[in-house]
Amino acid sequence: MKTLFVTRPLPEAVIAALEARFKTTVRAENTPLSDDEMRAALAGYDAILPTLGDMFTAEILAAVAAPRCRILANFGVGYNHIDIAAATRADIAVTNTPGAVTDATADIAMTLMLMSARRAGEGERLVRAGQWQGWHPTQMLGLHLSGKTVGILGMGRIGQAIARRCHFGFGMAVKYASRSAKALDFDAERLADPKALAAAVDVLVAAVPGGGDTRHMVDAELLAAMRPHGHFINISRGEVVDEAALIAALRARRIAGAGLDVYEFEPEVPAALRALDNVVLLPHLGTAALEVRRDMGMMAVANLAAFDEGRPLPNQVN
């Protein structure tokens, strides 16, 4: 029986499925692995099930000369915390869990859009502080989303799921920026330049993968291109946004608001960002539903089962 190291606690059904096939060690902590823990896992286990924050960098992977580990079965669709090239050089397969996260992440994007546009977070804080003095015709006027234009940065599975909700659910016009045109079941206009997209929409949603190619894609220039009444939403990766530039834009009211589920230096959220009323801040809730996390885990189980049986890996990324 092969050995498996699981870096965080997972839903019970997932752990049971893993234990039925592997000699499984589940780490009790919910914090990212330390460098020493990563090196020990690479040297001591046949397989590792890591997740966000477990930084399997080129340096970590190179530090173990002859790793026992032959697969990093990532729990999550994003894998920018794993150096894919270095893993390939070490003859370690990397898999992820696409598909399982799509709808849940799109739902969180819609939550953030509505909360930011309709000032829901600000309103809840007002009520909880005991400062609400009753309804009046000009109280906390926000942006009505129905019929507006949404812009999607990145039109992969999640971007399309967000766009579909906006188009069919809210009657919104859809524009997007991506490396290639997409065959879609609804009308959408592709713009080649992200800044042109930012200037043409009422709500801009970042739905691109993380990594060097997209780091600080949303910078001061792109934010300056947005309309003054525009709202920015990020459900992708924190590093996609130049957080300092976003704080400056929100402080100066150059954009109306933002909704964030991820942060550049997660879990650190700058005090300057937390102090702003025109931003909604969620603690990375994108896939935080039991059935979704269970589905993600079972997809990782399927990848590990294929590895165990010597079959092609369903979701290999290298």
Q: What does the pLDDT average to over 106-124? A: 97
What single string gives the DSSP state of each residue in 248-303?
HHHHTTSSSEEEES--TBTTB--HHHHT-TTEEE-SS-TT-SHHHHHHHHHHHHHH
Assess whether pLDDT exceeds 90 at residue 192.
Answer: no
237 part of the active site: yes
Query: Catalytic residue among 27, 190, 254, 266, which?
Result: 266
Residues 107, 157, 55, 292, CA torsion sign: positive
CATH of the domain at 150: 3.40.50.720
Residue 242 lies in a domain: yes
Is 115 found in the same domain as 245? Answer: yes
Assess whether pLDDT exceeds 90 at residue 243.
Answer: yes
Ordered alpha helix ranges (H), 129-240? 157-164, 170, 194-200, 220-225
Assess whether pLDDT exceeds 90 at residue 212.
Answer: no
Is 230 found in the same domain as 204? Answer: yes
Q: What does the pLDDT average to over 264-269? A: 94
Q: Please, what is the average pLDDT of the chain?
A: 96
Give pLDDT tens digits for 131-153: 999 999 999 999 999 999 999 99
Is 206 found in the same domain as 156? Answer: yes
Query: Catalytic residue among 122, 237, 243, 293, which?
Result: 237
Q: What does the pLDDT average to over 254-280? A: 97
For residue 153, what are the β-bridge partners? Answer: 177, 206
Structural domain for 15, as ranges: 3-100+289-309
Assess whether pLDDT exceeds 90 at residue 213.
Answer: no
Residue 318 lies in a domain: no
Assess whether pLDDT exceeds 90 at residue 103.
Answer: yes
Give pLDDT tens digits for 60-99: 999 999 999 999 999 999 898 999 999 999 999 999 999 8
SS3 category, 120: helix
294 part of the active site: no
266 part of the active site: yes
Whether the predicted model's global pTM rises above the 0.85 cut: yes
Count structural domains, the chain.
2
Query: Catalytic residue among 27, 190, 284, 294, which?
Result: 284
